[in-house]
Amino acid sequence: MPITIRIQVSPKEATLLHVLKRKVAQLNSIPEKDINHIEIVKRSIDARQKNIKINLTLALYINEDYITKLTHLPDYPNVSNSEQIIIVGAGPAGLFAALRCIELGLKPIIIERGKDVRSRRRDLKAITRDHIVNEDSNYCFGEGGAGTYSDGKLYTRSKKRGDVNRILDLLVGFGATPEIKVNAHPHIGTNKLPDIIASIRKKIIEQGGEVWFDQRVIDFNIKNSEIDGVILHDGSKVTARKVILATGHSARDIFELLYKKEIVIEAKPFALGVRVEHSQQFIDQIQYKTKERSAYLPPSPYSIVKQVNGRGMYSFCMCPGGVIAPCATSQGEVVTNGWSPSKRDQPTSNSGIVVELRLEDFKPYAKFGPLAGMHFQAAIEKKAWHLGGETQRVPAQRLTDLVQGKVSQSLPETSYKPGLTSVDMGGVFPDFIHNILKQGFQDFNKSMRGYLTEEAVAHAPESRTSSPVRIPRDRVSLEHPQIKGLYPCGEGAGYAGGIISAAIDGEKCAEAIAKVLKG
């Protein structure tokens, strides 16, 4: 059995196994020759002091052979002739639900409105270059879901949701670097995610599952309060006794359909604000307290939370060395989010900076019942589109001008490719959000000195932070309380926030179904 030890070393030492070996041997009075192998199990950075340290958890193989531990995928059975389960949506929730269905002997049929991961790229280009949003294929819709062209951050704030390591193991099995299991804040990167997603699809199909693209679900077949399948946009019917609904936080047509059919849904609080871009070098200088980042340190992230006027204002989905992306899902709206390549080597860093919203904020839209929050969100995205010149140009303001309520006379170049329009953010947001942002950025500057700089630019809005609707489900059976056989799943239903938690929730829904069908 290897011995586990924790050690703190310099960033350079952390990369040199022979130095680590010597150090560990000295510190623990072990003859160096007895250490056959050192494995790094966990790695995190402690940048609280100028003298930055790396915390390592190491497994020491003393007088013991080290056998390389390969990550094996489960032994998936062939499910071609098994009962079919419809999964709507090929995001992380849908894909991991499908894999778990196969593991448990059920045949998944994934129905996805968007295109496969490669064909999607053309539509992303069209948004950036021609300002045309394909309503079925964009940054949120298509194979892999909203996380495909992302930073691919793989950490979740809630460890209670389930087995994070199991999902990381599966991702490694499908081609992700084993490093994701070591780093405290792992990420994959936009350039690597598509191949991993394509391998998952390949496996699902090899084992007898099906993955359908360009097929939008427009209705549910329900008989006596029990699901009997779904109806596609061409009118065709697909039958199944169990349907996992994993359509994500941007499937507004699905929320509208549920409401129209009087299937119970609830408004859910979420958060909304701007996406702020700084130069990465600038963030490194603040976070690492040095002029030049050491070659042994990664581009620095940041995470910040403040209470302003009794509300939370916080950083969300920070992308070091990344780019701001146009994430609208319809014409006539502007939405921002961010991505990074695996090396996080872009010269800019960006982060959503969002304000916590409450159900009472949605009162002006009360006539939309449980869709009030969704309409609140859509109204801001539409306003941004008008202010941006009715294109994908994004309303923008230097951070220093935002705080002073001035329209910026000029804007520096940013990574947001469709372009910027200089505005006063007061025109985009309701007063209470605008005022919190104005005060909050001054408060941020007290924790991260220099954050509030005229070189930083706010892009608006960052509005798809989580679902504005919850689709209720029973805590144990995970079925919708009113429609038997319907399993609301993932972020869109309100049970996940991010790639990992959505994947975990997908697995849970598959397990709940297998329990009913297979006992």
Residue 52 or residue 496: which is nearer to ligand FAD going by CB?
496
Token pair listed for 41: 């199990």
Could you say which residues in the range 57-96 bind ligand FAD, by CB under 6 A?
Answer: 88-94
C-alpha span between 256 and 113 (Å, rounded): 16
Residue 317 or residue 374: which is nearer to ligand FAD going by CB?
317
Token pair listed for 259: 């409401």
Name which position in 317, 371, 402, 513 contacts ligand FAD (CB under 6 A).
317
Q: Is 139 in the site for ligand FAD (CB under 6 A)?
A: yes
| CB 311 within 8 Å of CB 322 | no
Token pair listed for 153: 């951050």
Q: How many CA atoms lie within 13 A of 251 on its CB side?
A: 33
Helix residue ranges, H only, 391-430: 399-404
Residue 207 or residue 337: which is nearer to ligand FAD going by CB?
337
Least separation in angstroms between CB 431 and ligand FAD? 28
Residue 60 or residue 154: which is nearer to ligand FAD going by CB?
154
Q: Is 277 in the site for ligand FAD (CB under 6 A)?
A: no
3-class state of residue 437 by DSSP: helix
Q: How many CA atoms lie within 13 A of 46 on its CB side?
A: 11
Q: Which stretch binds ligand FAD (CB under 6 A): 76-84, 99-107, 358-366, 495-503?
A: 495-503
Q: Is 327 in the site for ligand FAD (CB under 6 A)?
A: yes
Q: Which residues contact 50 (CB under 8 A, 6 or more apart)?
A: 289, 290
Residue 11 or residue 229: which is nearer to ligand FAD going by CB?
229
Could you say which residues in the range 391-450 bind ligand FAD, by CB under 6 A?
Answer: none
Could you say which residues in the range 146-175 bind ligand FAD, by CB under 6 A?
Answer: 146-147, 149-153
The dihedrals phi and psi of 19, each to the nearest 5 degrees, come to -70, -40
C-alpha span between 39 and 43 (Å, rounded): 11
Distances (CA, A) of 288 to 15, 284, 455: 18, 5, 19
Q: For residue 320, say if its preceding peptide bond is cis, omega within 30 degrees of 0.
A: no
Could you say which residues in the range 281-310 bind ligand FAD, by CB under 6 A?
Answer: none
Least separation in angstroms between CB 309 and ligand FAD? 27
Q: Is 491 in the site for ligand FAD (CB under 6 A)?
A: yes
Residue 82 or residue 342: which is nearer to ligand FAD going by CB?
342
Name which position in 255, 316, 339, 487 contacts ligand FAD (CB under 6 A).
339
The dihedrals phi and psi of 380, each to the nearest 5 degrees, come to -70, -40
Find residue 212's DSSP bridge partners. 111
Q: Which stretch binds ligand FAD (CB under 6 A): 161-169, 380-388, 436-444, 490-498?
A: 490-498
Residues that bind ligand FAD (CB under 6 A): 88-94, 111-114, 139-142, 145-147, 149-153, 216-217, 246-248, 251, 254, 317, 325, 327, 337, 339, 490-492, 496-499, 502
